[in-house]
């Protein structure tokens, strides 16, 4: 059986070792996040011959904010170098469509690995560490299947198993917070689009799948909050305290607005555009 890694470096995008799969396989529509429409399977016009983005350092100013908040969780380099053994879609056009179909499935598997790996690092989840380790190893084995087998996977069924353990992890973490000062109830936080909840004590809340688009969360207490799947696009978390929060990704942080006073978990970094 494989050993669960203490770090999650292999579960983060390594664009230098990928065939630009997110820039080809995935579709996007012209919007505030993307400057033009692109169909799935069509290379982005900014993708260069070396599989690097020609405007990588200027994506936001060029109208591609959506690219800066996408995370494949390491699926890109895995598909490129493990699943297809370094054989690119450009040099092997006969497998290109298959590779593009495999990539989003692999992204889902790697996302699950990322969250389970985080749960394994939480002392509060120790009662279910054996279960978490087992599902990590099972998921890892799925990522090593052949392209044909990956395309035949029942991902929703496997995700349901993983999700149950992540829910239990969330409960273990959040039960440590006794929040008698909050000004909202749990049912109100699922849709906070554009709402002002600045300075509110939301510690220990479950923001799983919550819509926080353009919400004002400045100076709010967001410690020990579960952020899995929360939409933080343009949410203002300047001066907010997110220490101890779980299942928060760098992509979610990149999508939000913040400042040097925003307190993040130690494995996440303040985005450069917050300080510009």
Structure tokens at 141: 């084995």
Closest CA to 197 of 174, 220, 168: 220
Hey, where are the domains in the chain? 9-174, 180-276
23-32 as b/e, with b when 16 or more CB fall inside 10 Å? bbbbebeeee
Query: What pLDDT is attached to residue 5?
Result: 42
**What whole-number percentage of the chain has pLDDT above 90?**
89
pLDDT at site 9: 77
E strand or H helix at 78 = helix 75-78
When computed from its CA atoms, the radius of gyration of the chain, rounded to whole angstroms, is 19
Residue 3 has pLDDT above 70, yes or no: no
Residue pair 247/227 in contact (Cβ under 8 Å)? The answer is yes
pLDDT tens profile 136-173: 999 999 999 999 999 999 999 999 999 999 999 999 99
Q: What is the phi/psi pair of residue 216, to 5°?
A: -95, 100
Q: Above 80 in pLDDT, residue 4? A: no
CB count, 10 Å around CB of 132?
A: 26
pLDDT, one tens digit per residue, over 192-220 is 999 999 999 999 999 999 999 999 999 99
């Amino acid at each position: 059986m494989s050993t669960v890694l203490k770090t999650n470096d292999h579960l983060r995008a390594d664009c230098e070792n990928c065939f630009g799969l997110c820039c080809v396989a995935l579709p996007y529509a012209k919007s505030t996040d993307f400057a033009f429409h692109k169909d799935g399977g069509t290379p982005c016009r900014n993708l260069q011959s070396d599989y690097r983005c020609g405007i990588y350092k200027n994506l936001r100013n060029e109208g591609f904010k959506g690219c800066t908040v996408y995370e494949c969780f390491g699926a890109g380099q895995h598909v490129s170098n493990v699943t297809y053994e370094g054989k690119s879609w450009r040099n092997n056009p006969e497998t290109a469509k298959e590779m593009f179909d495999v990539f989003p499935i692999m992204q889902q598997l790697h996302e699950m690995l990322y969250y389970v790996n985080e749960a394994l690092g939480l002392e509060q989840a120790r009662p279910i560490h054996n279960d978490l380790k087992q599902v990590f190893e099972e998921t890892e084995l799925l990522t090593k299947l052949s392209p044909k087998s990956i395309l035949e996977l029942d991902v929703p069924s496997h995700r349901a198993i993983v999700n149950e353990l992540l829910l239990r992890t969330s409960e273990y973490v959040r039960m440590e917070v006794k929040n008698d000062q909050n000004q909202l109830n749990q049912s109100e936080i699922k849709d906070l689009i554009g709402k002002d909840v600045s300075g509110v004590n939301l510690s220990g809340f479950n923001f799983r799948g919550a819509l926080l688009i353009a919400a004002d969360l400045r100076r709010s207490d967001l410690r020990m909050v579960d952020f899995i799947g929360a939409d933080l696009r343009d949410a203002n978390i300047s001066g907010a305290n997110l220490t101890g929060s779980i299942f928060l990704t760098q992509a979610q942080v990149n999508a939000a607005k913040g400042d040097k006073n925003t307190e993040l978990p130690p494995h996440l970094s303040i985005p450069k555009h917050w300080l510009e």
